[in-house]
Amino acid sequence: MSETLLDVRDLRVEFPGPPAVRAVDGASFDIRAGEALGVVGESGSGKTMALRALVGLLPRSARLAGGTIVFEGMDLATASPEQLRAVRGRSISMIFQEPMTALNPVMRIGEQIGEGPLVRLGYGRRRARERALELMRLVGIPDPAERAEAYPHELSGGLRQRAMIAIALSMEPKLILCDEPTTALDVTIQDQILKLLLSLRERLDVSIVFVSHDLAVIAQTCQRVAVMYAGQVVETGPVEQVFREPRHPYTLSLLRSVPDVDNVRHQLTAIPGSPPDLADPPSGCRFHPRCPFVQPDCVAGAFPLRPLGPERATACIHPDAAAADVRREPVLAGG
């Protein structure tokens, strides 16, 4: 097992009330050097907020309400704004969902890619430009010299996302946080961008956190996965194992709700009910009102992640129920 790069314990993000909304409520996960971790969950499960909290980029209306974020021996949760700024871009960088809006519309692509090296690494103008061209070649932007002069609206969605990736790589970070990086792209381009990220991870030995609601994307790109529900991590483990034998009913429901083109007879099941109101979450296990295997002891008490062997953990206190259900009817084999 490789060393832990980032260790997040009991992370809490709150939108102060009234009523106070806990967007992230006690999420724990860790990222190891060189790996890709997928964070999956429905909209509103707190995955984006958790990601932004890691580098102190919460919206103004939200605040970090607790937890530790240990990165290279430093707790980012208690770091000063200046310390956080020093970490951002250089050690941990971000890639956003919408490459059109995440690029400055009135700045040339080359300048935007070379900006980090220019102002943060003290490169001269000429060297920053060379670095930008080098990065553009690295992420597969054709004719870098010409594209460097272009403005974002002159590039296609795929090239814009490549440019975003080049910016994220420009200061050689150890960790890249990707917030649904392919959701806004069409399927063929999506595939190219995922392959690019995969190859870059291997070549540059950088760790990646991949936030997505798309299970197929996570399955393709990540070694490990953390499943989030209502602001909490409910299951973690190697992607292969978690998706084949989920040990939390929510993970199982999520997998069953994905259409499978290879098996048209596979029964598509929507998860009953709707995600809980985070201003007033259900007692006990937060999934219990929607859980098909709910037991009397699910409705009260605390539900932290419990280890299930060396690599896996689940918050469910009846993990065998999900396992038995999978044995009866396997979830998508392709996953």
Q: How many CB atoms lie within 10 A of CB 40?
A: 27
> Which residue, 146 or 240, has its beta carbon nearer to another protein?
146
User: For the chain, how many helices (H) and strands (E)?
Assistant: 11, 12
Output the CA torsion 230→255→31→103 (10° steps): -80
Q: How many CB atoms lie within 10 A of CB 79?
A: 17
Q: Closest approach of Cβ 133 to another protein, in Å?
A: 17
Q: Is the distance from CB of 74 to CB of 84 less than 8 angstroms? A: no
Rounded Cα gap, residues 241 and 255, in angstroms:
13
Q: Closest approach of Cβ 163 to another protein, in Å?
A: 11
Q: Closest approach of Cβ 106 to another protein, in Å?
A: 5
Q: Closest approach of Cβ 107 to another protein, in Å?
A: 7
> Which residue, 110 or 319, has its beta carbon nearer to another protein?
110
Contacts to another protein by CB under 8 A = 55, 57, 60, 85-90, 93-94, 96, 98, 101-107, 115-116, 119-120, 140, 142, 146-147, 150-151, 153-156, 158-159, 164, 167, 170-171, 188-189, 192
Tell me the Ramachandran region of residue 290: left when phi exceeds 0, alpha when psi lies from -120 to 50, beta otherwise. Answer: alpha
Residue partners of 251: CB distance under 8 A and separation at least 6: 227, 234, 235, 242, 243, 322
Beta bridge partners of 211: 39, 179
> Which residue, 108 or 266, has its beta carbon nearer to another protein?
108
Residue 77: which of 50, 98, 37, 103 has the closest Cα?
Answer: 50
> Which residue, 207 or 314, has its beta carbon nearer to another protein?
207
> Which residue, 96 or 287, has its beta carbon nearer to another protein?
96
Q: Closest approach of Cβ 104 to another protein, in Å?
A: 5
Q: Is the distance from CB of 233 to CB of 28 less than 8 angstroms? A: yes
Q: Closest approach of Cβ 103 to another protein, in Å?
A: 6
> Which residue, 175 or 298, has its beta carbon nearer to another protein?
175
> Which residue, 58 or 228, has its beta carbon nearer to another protein?
58
Q: Closest approach of Cβ 330 to another protein, in Å?
A: 33
Q: Running DSSP on this structure, what letter comes out for residue 88?
A: B
